[in-house]
Amino acid sequence: MERFDFEEERLKQEIGKLEARRVLIQLPEGLKLHGPRLASIVEKAGALPIVSADPCYGACDLVTAEAESLGVDLIVHYGHAKLSEYECIPTIYVEARATVEVSDAVEKALPLLKNWHKVGLATTVQHIQTLNRIKEILLNAGKTVIIGDAEHSSYPGQVIGCNYSNVKSIARNVEAFLFVGGGRFHALGVALSTSKPTIVADPYENRAFSVDDEAKILLKKRWASICDAKEAERLAILIGLKNGQQRLRAAMNLKVKLKKLGRRATLLAITEITPIALMQFPDIDAFINTACPRISLDDSKNFPKPVITLNEAYAMLNEITWEELCRRGWFES
């Protein structure tokens, strides 16, 4: 059985409704293999499909410029909830909700949550539809369950790699968090942005585990990177060129601040921040990443030099304290 809902019927209907003639399909890594199949559906619906083969990690990375250059009249973006308020080309978002059963993994998480009564719930958009079911399991186990509903999130309980406002909004009221979803990245984000014990229920691997030890190690590594960047003779500030990741003003302000402190910093404009791309600048001792903060976490071991986030740079400059860095979030924009 397919693990995600690609909403094929809706896709056909939207193409008909919008009378689209040329459609650009954008899928995140991990779902790209479905591109050719989705292209066939688009073709049968009467439009010319083009599948974007470039990397995509979020709705911040919408292929609008590419769509314009290809003369596309509809973008179909898979795997993420809408982020942008305005799209210059009609865009439909197919969130690719997961169809995997979460109950078993949640049951396995219960023993790991035994020391806490008040539990906060968090997940990614793929599992939002399961939150009520998960809540019921926790309530039956005698827990009090709280789901954050902060202003700037698409759904209650949802976290994304650079926005943990939902969990931060309830952190004071809970003793621990249960994150339901695959991988460790978002769960680590929950742990780091709330400083609360965080248990993962992973429905794909059907297991539950704590990320607390990993979060502690990660904090030490991040702090070491900040210290290294502080000592760096030559810095570069990365300006992301993806439409929802560009923080030009913040990058320029940072350069001015560094100059006032007698530090040299080069502005680098970049689309894909990869170790190979950064290796082309061997004289740079540390990079400040104003684009997607996830890159600084996920790829840190592969980068030859420290790549700190914007909030970490403010801590490096002593503009914010450790506590404020934890409150703002290490990886939040």
Give the binding site for ligand SF4 (CB under 6 A).
57-58, 60, 160-162, 245, 292, 294
- Return the half-sphere exposure (C-beta side, CA atoms, 13 A cut-off) of residue 331: 28
Pick 73 or 312: Cβ nearer ligand SF4: 312
* Shortest distance (Å) from residue 240 CB to ligand SF4: 8
Rounded least distance, CB 150 to ligand SF4, Å: 15
What are the structure tokens assigned to 90, written together? 């009609």
129 residue type, one letter: Q
> For residue 224, which of 165, 166, 164, 286 has the smallest C-alpha distance?
286
Which three-class secondary structure state does DSSP give residue 311? helix
Q: Which is nearer to ligand SF4, 143 or 294 (CB)?
A: 294
295: closest CA among 228, 238, 212?
238
**Residue count (the chain):** 333
Residues 190, 134, 125, 157, Cα dihedral to 10°: -50
Tell me the closest approach of the beta carbon of residue 159 to ligand SF4, in angstroms: 10
Between 57 and 204, CB nearer to ligand SF4: 57
Select 60 or 201, whichever has its Cβ closest to ligand SF4: 60
Q: How far is the CB of 61 from ligand SF4 (least distance, A)?
A: 6
CB closer to ligand SF4, 189 vs 197: 189
286-289 β-sheet, strand order: 264-270, 234-240, 286-289, 307-309
- In the complex, minimum distance from the CB of residue 216 to ligand SF4, in angstroms, rounded to a whole number: 22
Spatial neighbors of 20 by CB under 8 A, at least 6 apart, are 14, 47, 73, 74, 90
Q: What are 20's two structure tokens? A: 């689209």
Based on its alpha-carbon atoms, the radius of gyration of the chain, rounded to whole angstroms, reads 21
Least CB distance to ligand SF4 at residue 198 (A): 18
Report residue 258 as tokens: 């560094």
- According to DSSP H, which parts of the chain are helical? 8-18, 35-44, 64-69, 103-109, 131-140, 165-168, 185-194, 212-231, 248-260, 275-279, 294-298, 310-316, 322-328
| Minimal distance, residue 54 CB to ligand SF4, in Å | 13
Closer residue to ligand SF4 (CB): 103 or 300: 300
Q: Minimum distance from CB of 89 to ligand SF4 (Å)?
A: 19
Strands 176-180 and 207-210: unpaired
Which residue, 148 or 197, is less far from ligand SF4 as judged by CB? 148
Give whichever of 162 and 170 is closer to ligand SF4, judged by the CB atom: 162
